[in-house]
Amino acid sequence: MNSVKEAIRSHVKGQPEGTIFVPKEFLALGTRASVDQALARLVKAGVLTRVSRGVYTANIATRFGTIPPPVELVVENYAAAKGQKILQNEAIAANRFGLTTQVPIRHVYITSGPSRRLQLGKVNVEVRKVPRWLTLYPGRPAGEIIRALSFVGASEAKTAASSIRSKVEKEEWRTVLKAKAMLPAWMTSALAQEGSFT
């Protein structure tokens, strides 16, 4: 058992910060039961954090003790491991465009996959399933435009669209307009009133 635990410990220490680990990648070291037991012992020893059922990440050693990696990094790697889109929520997008001063104190993300809760030490992370159109264009301003408009809602969408349009590149605005068929009618209407760049 100790050999399995030490082999896992050695492996995880050599991986980039925030890497996600699952039991099946260690099955060459022993039976599933021995791997599960070794992982549990490494969690108890503070080497690993159990992010969710069957999902782990390595802790970071600091002078104050071990701590989990940054939430954003773990969520990004978790999304890649699961093959899902997991993005920052609508309020974050709205804040970036100056549509709200609200900055959520809770760690809430949106996803194209199932809703779930992740745990990083004392930090709870909520991953909330949303309609597919809210996860369009990850990593691009075009996607943030859609999420920001979703946050303000139908009553404020026209004013928000006008404000956002003056802050983004033409190509990003055109990309949002191309997605109009996938968006709610109220959002499409707000975008149409702003028109396109010539």
SS3 65: strand
SS3 83: coil
Count the Cβ atoms, other than its own, within 10 Å of residue 135.
20
How far, in Å, CA of 183 to CA of 179, rounded?
7
Task: Output the pLDDT for position 196.
Answer: 58
Does 20 have pLDDT greater than 50?
yes
User: 13-49 burial, b if ≥16 CB within 10 A, otherwise e?
Assistant: eeeeebbbbeeeebeebbeeebbeebbebbeeeebbb
More confident residue, 158 or 106: 158
pLDDT single digits (tens) 68-87: 999 999 999 999 998 889 99
Task: Output the pLDDT for position 197.
Answer: 47
How far, in Å, CA of 150 to CA of 87, rounded?
14
How far, in Å, CA of 121 to CA of 35, rounded?
22
Question: For residue 94, which amino acid is it?
Answer: A
For residues 14, 16, 20, 25, the Cα torsion angle rounded to the nearest 10 degrees is -30
How far, in Å, CA of 26 to CA of 34, rounded?
10
How far, in Å, CA of 69 to CA of 137, rounded?
26
Task: Output the pLDDT for position 198.
Answer: 43
Q: Name the token pair of 143.
A: 């996607």
How far, in Å, CA of 183 to CA of 161, rounded?
14
pLDDT single digits (tens) 87-132: 999 999 999 999 998 777 789 999 988 999 999 988 999 999 999 9
Q: Name the token pair of 19.
A: 């890497």
